[in-house]
Amino acid sequence: MTERRGWNNACSITCSRIVSHGASAYLSDICGEFSRARRWLRLAHSIHWLRMNATPPSRRYRFGVFEADASTGELHRQGMRIKLHSQPFQLLLLLLERRGELLTREEICRELWPDGTFVDYEHGVNSAINRIREALGDRAANPRFVETLARGGYRFLAPVESLESHATTKAAESSSLFTGNIFATPEDLPVSSRSTVATIFVLFQLMYLGFYVGALANLAEIQDLLAVLPYATQVFLLLIVTAAVMIPVRTFLLCALLFRAPGLRAKFLRLWWLLLPMDVLWALSPFLLLHHINSGLALACMAILLYSPFAQRALLLMASRQDPGNHNALPNV
% of the chain exceeding 70 in pLDDT: 70
Q: Is the pLDDT of residue 325 over 70?
A: no
Radius of gyration for the alpha carbons in the chain, expressed in angstroms and rounded: 36
pLDDT at 189: 78
Edge to edge, what strands does the sheet with 146-149 contain? 103-104, 153-156, 146-149
Q: Is the pLDDT of residue 67 over 70?
A: yes
Mean pLDDT: which of 51-65, 75-89, 104-118, 187-201 is highest?
75-89
Edge to edge, what strands does the sheet with 80-82 contain? 80-82, 74-77, 66-69, 60-63, 161-163
CA distances from 20 to 9, 13, 27, 32, 136 (A): 16, 10, 13, 19, 84
The rounded mean pLDDT for the chain is 77
Please tell me the pTM assigned to this model.
Answer: 0.48
Q: Which of 38-42, 201-205, 275-279 has the lowest mean pLDDT?
A: 38-42
HSE of 115 in the Cβ direction (CA atoms, 13 Å)?
Answer: 0
Please compute the mean of the pLDDT values over residues 308-317 and round it to a whole number: 89
pLDDT digits (tens, 9 = 90+) for 254-308: 999 888 888 888 888 888 998 899 999 999 999 999 888 899 999 999 999 999 9
pLDDT at 191: 73
What domains can you pick out in the chain, each with its CATH number? 60-162 (1.10.10.10), 186-319 (no CATH)
3-state SS class at 153: strand
pLDDT digits (tens, 9 = 90+) for 221-245: 999 999 999 999 999 999 999 999 9
**What amino acid occupies position 205?**
Q
Contact 70, 59 (CB under 8 A): yes
CA angle 224, 227, 229 (to 5 degrees): 140
Nearest partner of 58 among 74, 46, 69, judged by Cα: 69
pLDDT at 9: 52
Nearest partner of 97 among 125, 66, 148, 61, judged by Cα: 61
pLDDT at 46: 46
Largest CA distance in the chain: 125
* CA atoms 132, 133, 135, 138: torsion sign: positive
Give Cβ neighbours of residue 60 (< 8 Å, ≥ 6 apart). Answer: 67, 68, 69, 70, 71, 162, 163, 164, 165, 166
pLDDT at 164: 62
